[in-house]
Amino acid sequence: MQYLSTRGSAPALDFEGATLTGLASDGGLYLPREWPRLSEAEIRELRGLSYADLAVRIMRPFVAGSLADDELEALCHAVYDDFGHAAVTPLAQLNETHWLLELFHGPTLAFKDVALQMLGQLFETFLARRDQRLTIVGATSGDTGSAAINAVAGRERVEIFMLHPLDRVSDVQRRQMTTVRAPNVHNIAIRGSFDDAQRHVKRMFADEAVTGTLRIGAVNSINWARLMAQVVYYFASALQFGAPDRAVAYSVPTGNFGDVFAGYVAAQMGLPIERLVVATNVNDILHRALKDGDYSAGETTATITPSMDIQVSSNFERLLFDCGGRDGAALAEQMRGFDENRSMPLTNSQREGAARLFTSARADQDDTARALQWAYRKAGQVIDPHTGVGLHAALHADGIAPGTPIVTLATAHPAKFRDAVERATGVRPALPARVGDLFGREEHFAELGGDYEATRDYVLENAAGSGR
């Protein structure tokens, strides 16, 4: 499989190249040249497979040419055979229509583990093959950071620099990153928002002072391999509802548009998805873009769903590319306009293409708290606030045919946000034993100002080196 940049001018790469490169050299994001398509009969044959075997079948066309079947099988079984829950991503029923897809059974209690545990293995495989090292630079609003650090801590061939916005992640999220003691892990808190951190990371990919010295890679969802691994749980859940003979709708709490874009990919592959509901908090650029065609970023507001306090949503570019006729040059121009004005109108084909599958909703803090209360009182489920944003959207979604199961992606364990959960429900969720003694361990992180140069220089000065 070949991968193309959404901005049209970076070289096409195979899966191995796209995984190690992360962000394309023209600033675009990699996407498969075409969507592999499964027939209804092929989807039916997936019923009853273990999660690991399903992952092999879904990922195989995407990795073709870069991983042999036996290599892919070994990786999928290594990651998913012992994942914290036998089903890896189990479903929980709320009522006759609504379900939760629990994505938080991995080591760091958020959906990011499902893909990042796989990405850690992919890095190891490809770097060993090339006898190379990689310096990862990443940005996190809380969950990607801990999941990525868990996936690569102590590994020989990678080191990781993870930027988080100072005081804008939960205490559990921060400690899951900053208490990890491994020589290849560097945590940096920057003054500003997640968007600032993400901008610094993307700029490093285009900065010769960095790329001329270090081979840098990405763990954020700008890395295609992340999304590929997330497609699997849409199939795993829809099959349980009878796919391909029955359609399912999903409500996805959204920030960087990665998780919900994985649902879009599943639909392009032939999975009958009736609707994808993009659920945002008050940082609602995606809701406004889908509703009015106006993609314009405001200031980020801190909320009880900090992982979704995002205004510039990386993966939306992938959707605009795919829906807008895959015209890289035109999209590069459109994105240049956005970089200059922090605002851009969508084209008609982008709007119409998106409207075929997506709908959207926005939840403020009261809506979110009410959704947490509803889940607890009506269904006995204590859910995290991000999941609450998704559930609010699911409960208020229209345009979904009666009788269609609506699945809300439960993206984090409630204990990661226990203060907000307790305030809404009166229940203080306990931290699962698998995260260990987080509050008894010492924290280590560098605190930097908000300027790009300080971040870049810190990385250059502290990198053990990955060669060029």
Ligand X SMILES: Cc1ncc(COP(=O)(O)O)c(C=O)c1O
Ligand Y SMILES: N[C@@H](CCOP(=O)(O)O)C(=O)O
Residues belonging to the active site: 112
Among the residue ranges 68-76, 178-186, 200-208, 253-261, the one whose residues contact ligand X (CB under 6 A): 253-261
Among the residue ranges 211-219, 255-263, 349-357, 437-445, the one whose residues contact ligand X (CB under 6 A): 255-263
Query: Does 412 contact ligand X by CB under 6 A?
Result: yes
Query: Does 221 contact ligand X by CB under 6 A?
Result: yes
Q: How far is the CB of 424 from ligand X (least distance, A)?
A: 16
Nearer to ligand Y, 135 or 220 (CB): 220
Query: Does 165 contact ligand X by CB under 6 A?
Result: no
The four Cα atoms 250, 253, 258, 261 give a dihedral, to 10 degrees, of 30
CA distances from 382 to 374, 376, 387, 421, 462 (A): 10, 5, 10, 8, 42
Q: CA-to-CA distance for 50 and 353, rounded, in angstroms?
A: 34
Q: Which of 66, 368, 411, 425 binds ligand X (CB under 6 A)?
A: 411
Nearer to ligand X, 30 or 126 (CB): 30
Binding stretches for ligand Y (CB under 6 A): 140-145, 194, 220-221, 255-256, 258, 307, 314
Query: Does 233 contact ligand X by CB under 6 A?
Result: no
Among the residue ranges 10-18, 23-31, 247-255, 350-358, the one whose residues contact ligand X (CB under 6 A): 247-255
Provide CB contacts within 8 A for 86, sequence distance 6+.
none
187 binds, among ligand Y, ligand X, none (CB under 5 to 8 A by kind): none
Nearer to ligand X, 66 or 198 (CB): 198
Inter-residue contact 413 to 104 (CB < 8 Å): yes
Q: CA-to-CA distance for 222 and 224, rounded, in angstroms?
A: 6
Inter-residue contact 409 to 253 (CB < 8 Å): yes
- Per-residue contact string for residues 110-139; x = within reach of ligand X by CB under 6 A: x-----------------------------
Q: Which two tokens stand for residue 141?
A: 């609003």
Q: Which of 138, 145, 165, 253 binds ligand X (CB under 6 A)?
A: 253
Nearer to ligand Y, 226 or 351 (CB): 226
Report which residue type is found at 276. Answer: L
Q: Which of 105, 275, 287, 386 binds ligand X (CB under 6 A)?
A: 386
Provide CB contacts within 8 A for 167, sequence distance 6+.
189
140 binds, among ligand X, ligand Y, none (CB under 5 to 8 A by kind): ligand Y
Give the residue from 117, 113, 118, 87 showing the smallest Cα distance to 100: 87
Report CA torsion sign: 380, 381, 382, 387: negative
Burial class (CB in 10 A: 0-12, 13-18, 19+), 128: exposed
Query: Does 235 contact ligand X by CB under 6 A?
Result: no
**Rounded to 5°, angle at Cα 464 from 10 and 213:** 35
Q: How far is the CB of 298 from ligand X (least distance, A)?
A: 18
| Interface positions with ligand X (CB under 6 A) | 110, 143, 221, 253-260, 307-308, 386, 411-412
